[in-house]
A and B are shown apart, each in its own frame.
Chain A
């Protein structure tokens, strides 16, 4: 980081940011989101104190009520005097590159609360359910000093599970219309959920979904077999338990049993219980040492992300590399090379430059 000086305009911005100006934070986010020159230095400067804030992610299929839940939860946290940052992600159109960011519509009641900062982000081609720079924006909000940051993903289908890399606690929001628990299992939501919420719980099908989810979660945890009596002389419960204990860590604290809650975001029903459960998960994270592990894993991912991006930038901004690329194309079309020989030339050139 020593090679680059912060861009002068960023100094002003940084000043505002450090003084706690909302405008400063808003503009800092844009600098990061747009990867303007010097954005790495900006992040480096503000991130030195490490993660402090509590990060809660909300994910689930489109229309499940994620924004409404986030708004309800945010209102409740404001009642506890917490300062909140909210990042809400909506999809970018792959055709026009534009995006309609509508999550604020559900958050109107908290729109002018000075203790809440809401930022909408477009995915800009990122496929993990977050925008490319959402994790960095959460880091910025963390450094800005919010007590808690809520991250809302795009409506997820079956593969967008990046939220785990941005949040300490992941709340998966489903509705009776989301389909049965098999859908949630297929989508990998079982693996990322720390807490399940069945929203719009007044609708038909809600109790059935809750029951199915609980069953599926027990299967995953291997608990289903615990209470089954010995069968054919083999105590499956014991056998499973032993197996599970052998790969468990030395921690004494029990694992986290994923709860299934019901809410009605519009009436606020079940929101208190959700808050309590988020707190319980937090306590578990801290007591089990899982939070440290989580943060370490996240740091690893962040370092890789930064290196990946810098490598791409260095490679494709280099005239020499672009020359070699053109040369490679010629070689392939004249039958003297393959993409692999061309790539090999480029990688050699890059490594030489950097040596």
Chain B
């Protein structure tokens, strides 16, 4: 029916971390890629992120974590999403995250995590690819 469905994505900046440049860069890159990007600003708690993700019915939550708290934040958001029946949402993100941690988080069901120097087009391609294999409603 008409145009392809828009990808809706929440770009979230959790925790006590004021460095939102990366989040803003990726948010505008997603927008330029034709996504509908919900951006909620700084200092979000996992509860705020999950509540927004559900109300906005996004396909993807992309978190930017530069604070070193990724091993807490990603699993917490993932757990809340699952708990509230929103396990269809892809949780991905980026930040300064050591490779070992990336591997561990992937085992816990978190999507790809992008490190410094990633080209925005890689992230866009990843989300589009994921979306094309899962689109339902």
Contact = CB atoms under 8 A, between A and B. Distances in A.
Interface in A6-34: 9, 13, 22-23, 26-27, 29-31, 34
Contacts of A30: 8, 57, 137
Contacts of A108: 40-41, 43-44, 48
- Interface SS of chain A: mixed
A97 interface: yes
Contacts of A23: 54, 84-86
B36 A96 contact: no
B47 interface: yes
Nearest to A31: B137
Contacts of A118: 52, 55-56
B1 A102 contact: no
Interface residues of A, number: 33
B114 interface: no
A249 interface: no
Nearest to B40: A104
A26 B57 contact: yes
B31 interface: yes
Given A23-B85, A27-B137, A112-B48, A98 B57 contact: no
A135 to B, nearest CB: 18
A96 B34 contact: yes
A119 B45 CA distance: 19
A99 interface: yes
B102 interface: no
Contact of B37 (A13, A101, A119, A124): A101
Contact residues on B (Cβ < 8 Å of other chain), bracket: 35 or more
A155 to B, nearest CB: 16
Nearest to A316: B2
Contacts of B30: 98
A100 B39 CA distance: 7
Given A36-B137, A111-B40, A96 B31 contact: yes
A2 B55 CA distance: 31
Contacts of B44: 108, 111
Interface in B1-51: 1-2, 5-6, 8, 27-28, 30-41, 43-45, 47-48, 51
A26 B1 contact: no
A272 interface: no
A316 B57 CA distance: 29
B57 to A, nearest CB: 4
A93 B31 CA distance: 8
Given A9-B137, A26-B55, A35-B1, A100 B37 contact: yes
A80 interface: no
A106 to B, nearest CB: 8
B40 to A, nearest CB: 5
Contacts of A102: 39, 41
A100 B28 contact: yes
Contact of B38 (A22, A29, A120): A120
B137 A99 contact: no
Contact of A111 (B34, B51, B86, B136): B51
B46 to A, nearest CB: 10
A98 B41 contact: no
A96 B34 CA distance: 5
Contacts of A101: 36-39, 56
Given A100-B31, A120-B56, A36 B41 contact: no
Nearest to A22: B54
A117 B55 contact: yes
Contacts of A97: 6, 34
A98 B128 CA distance: 14
Contacts of B56: 26, 101, 118-120
A105 interface: yes
B55 A105 contact: no
B27 A100 contact: yes
Nearest to A108: B41
A37 interface: yes
B36 A99 contact: yes
Given A108-B48, A112-B48, A98 B55 contact: no
- A27, A92, A111, A117: which has the most chain B beta carbons within 10 Å? A111
Given A96-B33, A112-B47, 8 more contacts: A9-B137, A26-B54, A93-B31, A99-B31, A100-B39, A101-B36, A101-B39, A108-B43
